[in-house]
Structure 1
Amino acid sequence: MNEVIDELHPWRWSSYATLADVLPAIDDSLNGQLSAAVPVPGSKDVVLLLIDGLGDSLLTAHADVAPTLTSLRSTTIRAGFPATTASSITSLMSGASCGSHGVIGYSFRTDRAATRAPNRQLLNALRWTLDRSDGRSALGTYLPEQIQPIEGLLPEMAARGVEVTYVMPGLYRGSGFSRAAFRVEGTYRPAQNPAEILAGVGEALAPQSPRHQFVYAYWPDLDAAGHLFGPGSPQWVKALAVADRMVADLAAALGRDATLVVTGDHGMIQANNRFDIDTTDEMLKGVEAVAGEMRVRQVYTRPGARDDVQSFWTDALGDDAHVVAREQVLDEEWFGVEVTDAVAERIGDLVAVARGTTILTRSLTDPEIEVNMVGHHGAWTAAEQLVPVLLAQG
């Protein structure tokens, strides 16, 4: 069966390391050790480049466009569930799964008692806004350090003397999501395009410091091309070629004691089947709120209505999605082996995971630009879950 339309089998990825294993492997590298999960060779300095939307399946399918990326492939890991940027970057930087760090998707409800939020408004974790990605700021309602309470490994590394530098767009500095995911202030070098990323990484590594250096760089354009035009489109292929040249330049500029680690936060599929929640009769009967994204929906039901809602959604969606109760999600460890009580409360009463190339849209609720996107991610297919790890040494 084509990997894009695999049936839902969360457990089939259990043998893969995850994004949460990458930073511990880098820490091992700086200490002269080799991690079994993600084998990063021992180095004095490490640069971690996250190419948003770099999926393993897509890289394989377009290897001819990306000879450098293909040649540097070391291993394949999985993003974790859901396969989405907010969750993945938090897992990457905290070294923990969603069940511990609590950023369980693009948007979700939070614990009202902990945050004192009125009516448990939805939090869009990536934009740190209320209810919608273009809603008003959530900083006055949800403190990032409370929503994501785990400091993780990076502060420990910094406390041991590792110098931390961020090379990424300047608008991310001090944002709610950055505060939640990156728990070390570090040195910030604004960079939007490949040339600026190359310069920022070079400036970070240029001083001959006796201390170890960890540089985190981020490039969003591949993901943006996939969302707007579709993975594999001419625009996406062009962005992949740019990423390949960027990585080649970074690898060539490495000092002899430095290692470049490249990975993605998720893959992507092209939506060919749209199911609109907002315009399907009685789809929202008994439902208080719907969060998440179009491949994974968190459904919060009214008291006593969950079973009826699950039955209705299951019948309405048929083979297009798998609709699961929170208890099953926890039992099957979708969000990790350990899920704290606070995080469990955030999970929807039901979780609807799209199958095949289906997306679950909200044409009357979500911003128009999101409703019309072509490329999507979040669910359990290999095309969304699996990401490569690439390694280059100076």
Structure 2
Amino acid sequence: MAHTIPAGPVAPGGLRDVFTSCLAAVLGRPNPLRLPPMRHAAVVLVDGLGAEALAARSGHARTLAAASGKRARMVSGFPTTTAAALASLTTGTDPGQHGLVGYSALDPATGVVVNQLHGFDDGSLPDAWQRCPTVFEQAAREGVRAVAIGPRHYATTGFTRSVLRGAEYLGARTIAARFEAWQQVIAGPGPSIAYLYVPELDVAAHAAGWRSPRWTEHLEAVDAAVADCIAGLPAGAGLVLTADHGILDTSPDRHLFYDIVPGLLDDVAAIAGEPRCRQLHLRAGADPVAVAADWNEAFGGAVRALTRAQAIGEQWFGTVDPHVEPRIGDVLVAATGRWVLLDSRRPKGHGMIGQHGSWTSAERIVPLLRFGAAAS
């Protein structure tokens, strides 16, 4: 399948290369992003900030827009969902290696679909579910201070423990306070890497859409915080701003209810993934090729359904480790356009406006903005 990338320069690699490049730059080593040597490097991850949305609201983000020059965008990866993307960022690997293959996934050991953002807290998932060492752990071995800065309530979650393993977590309530916390880190002794997490835009988009005043207000807050921060950056400190995924606004007329199609779920034992990309785990003896064909026929051009073998062959999840493969659905159903795949019997979440998880450029293309030493 050819996945269309919008016109204009797009940096090579993806999220897996961003944090690893920052650590390499602090260590004075070559790196995929070609960042110059620096003493302090930070990655600002603005959850849900797609490059297309940023361009459309550039008048509200003049500092970010000014940095949106050549090679200031990149492909985030697949699936375009937070659990998978953040693990790719902090481990330097693709979902097929670290094992977080969607918003939810089937645990092959139990046959239960587990939420990969919250399952570490309720005991559904062991810490080892995320299979790869983190960049923070590597930094510690290299004598580099590693910190993660985000909302206080994320400090002790299981997901934080899994994907930010090895980082010193600094809680800060507001967007501006997170940047201030990083400035205190770089004022200290020794080299450092940092991760600053901004979830506010994603939360606003899910509730009200990225075109909403609420989303725009958060974008303005990010822009102001970046402007204030870079105005006082010392020599040798660099900042890279990116996102885990973009987002698109949906509406009730784009809801596809798969449970009301006669016979469509007959061979389906469990459904994982997210509304923009469902992962179907089939009953024993069911034919994935036939099931994929049924879903394609049921929804026409609104989806692309294919088998796990096809998705792996097309590198949807990168190189897939044999231990991770059973977590991926036997059939994947990726929505096109602004369509969303829902179960009418489970109305929770049907009112969510902003959605992501599939292949559109609005979901996949994210900013890659460099400031301070990182822009040299």
Could you tell me which amino acid in structure 2 is paired with residue 230 of structure 1? G
The aligned residue for residue 36 of structure 2 is 41
Give the CA deviation at 1:282.
2.9
Give the CA deviation at 1:154.
2.7
Could you tell me which amino acid in structure 1 is paired with residue 358 of structure 2? A
Give the CA deviation at 1:11.
8.2
Q: How far apart, CA to CA, are the structure 1 residues paired with 2:353 and 2:65? A: 25
The aligned residue for residue 64 of structure 2 is 69
Give the CA deviation at 1:310.
2.3
Give the root-mean-square deviation of aligned CA atoms: 2.0
Q: Of 75, 79, 89, which aligns to 1:78?
A: 75
Give the CA deviation at 1:236.
1.7
Could you tell me which amino acid in structure 1 is paired with residue 323 of structure 2? A
The aligned residue for residue 204 of structure 1 is 185
Contact 2:39/2:191 (<8 A) preserved = yes
Give CA deviations for 1:278-301 in whole Å, capped at 9, x if unaligned: 333333211111111111110011
Task: Label 1:349 to 1:249 Cα distance change in 2 as closer, same or farther (>3 A).
Answer: same
Query: What residue ranges of structure 1 are gaps of 5+ in the alignment?
Result: 1-7, 130-136
Confirm or deny that 1:25 pairs with 2:14. Answer: no
Q: Of 369, 372, 375, which aligns to 1:393?
A: 372
The aligned residue for residue 134 of structure 1 is none
The aligned residue for residue 247 of structure 1 is 226
Give the CA deviation at 1:33.
3.8
Task: Label 1:328 to 1:15 Cα distance change in 2 as closer, same or farther (>3 A).
Answer: farther
Task: Label 1:317 to 1:346 Cα distance change in 2 as closer, same or farther (>3 A).
Answer: same
Q: What SS does structure 2 have at the residue aligned with 1:364? A: coil
Give 1:165-314 correspondences, 5 Å limit: 165-184=147-166, 186-207=167-188, 209=189, 211-272=190-251, 273-306=254-287, 307-314=289-296
Give the CA deviation at 1:34.
4.8
Contact 1:23/1:93 (<8 A) preserved = yes
Q: How far apart, CA to CA, are the structure 2 residues paired with 1:391 and 1:233? A: 27
Give CA deviations for 1:349-392 in whole Å, capped at 9, x if unaligned: 100000011011123236x2x22111111111111101111111
Contact 2:23/2:193 (<8 A) preserved = no
Contact 2:22/2:42 (<8 A) preserved = no
Give the CA deviation at 1:312.
2.2
Give the CA deviation at 1:315.
1.3
Task: Label 1:341 to 1:72 Cα distance change in 2 as closer, same or farther (>3 A).
Answer: same
The aligned residue for residue 95 of structure 2 is 98
Task: Label 1:256 to 1:12 Cα distance change in 2 as closer, same or farther (>3 A).
Answer: closer
Task: Label 1:153 to 1:282 Cα distance change in 2 as closer, same or farther (>3 A).
Answer: same
Aligned residues: 365
Q: Of 105, 112, 128, which aligns to 1:121?
A: 112
Task: Label 1:246 to 1:279 Cα distance change in 2 as closer, same or farther (>3 A).
Answer: farther
The aligned residue for residue 159 of structure 1 is 141
Please report the TM-score for the alignment, with normalisation by the length of structure 1: 0.88
Q: What SS does structure 1 have at the residue aligned with 2:107? A: coil
The aligned residue for residue 345 of structure 1 is 326
Work out the percentage of aligned pairs sharing the same amino acid. 32
Contact 1:18/1:78 (<8 A) preserved = yes
Q: How far apart, CA to CA, are the structure 2 residues paired with 1:245 and 1:195? A: 8
Q: What SS does structure 2 have at the residue aligned with 1:164? A: strand
The aligned residue for residue 297 of structure 2 is 315
Query: What residue ranges of structure 2 are gaps of 5+ in the alignment?
Result: none
The aligned residue for residue 127 of structure 2 is 144
Contact 1:77/1:386 (<8 A) preserved = yes
Contact 2:46/2:243 (<8 A) preserved = yes
Contact 1:167/1:201 (<8 A) preserved = yes
Give the CA deviation at 1:166.
1.4
Q: What SS does structure 1 have at the residue aligned with 2:72? A: strand
Task: Label 1:345 to 1:384 Cα distance change in 2 as closer, same or farther (>3 A).
Answer: same
